Amino acid sequence: MNTSIRQGTFDWMSRQGYGYVPSESNCFMAETKRPAKEVIEAMGAQHVYIGRPWPVWPTHVRITVGTQDEMAQFQSAYQRVMSNAVATGWEPRKTRSRGLDGVVLPARAGDYS
Phi, psi values for residue 96, rounded to 5° = -75, -50
Alpha-carbon torsion (46, 73, 75, 92), positive or negative? positive
Ranges of each domain in the chain: 2-83
pLDDT tens digits, 92-106 = 444 444 444 445 445
Smallest CA-to-CA distance from 90 within 40, 13, 37 is with: 37
pLDDT tens digits, 61-93 = 999 999 999 999 999 999 999 998 544 444 444
Q: Give the three-class secondary structure for 4.
A: helix
Is the pTM for the entire model greater than 0.75? no
By the 8 A CB rule, do 10 and 22 touch?
yes
CATH class assigned to 2-83 = alpha beta
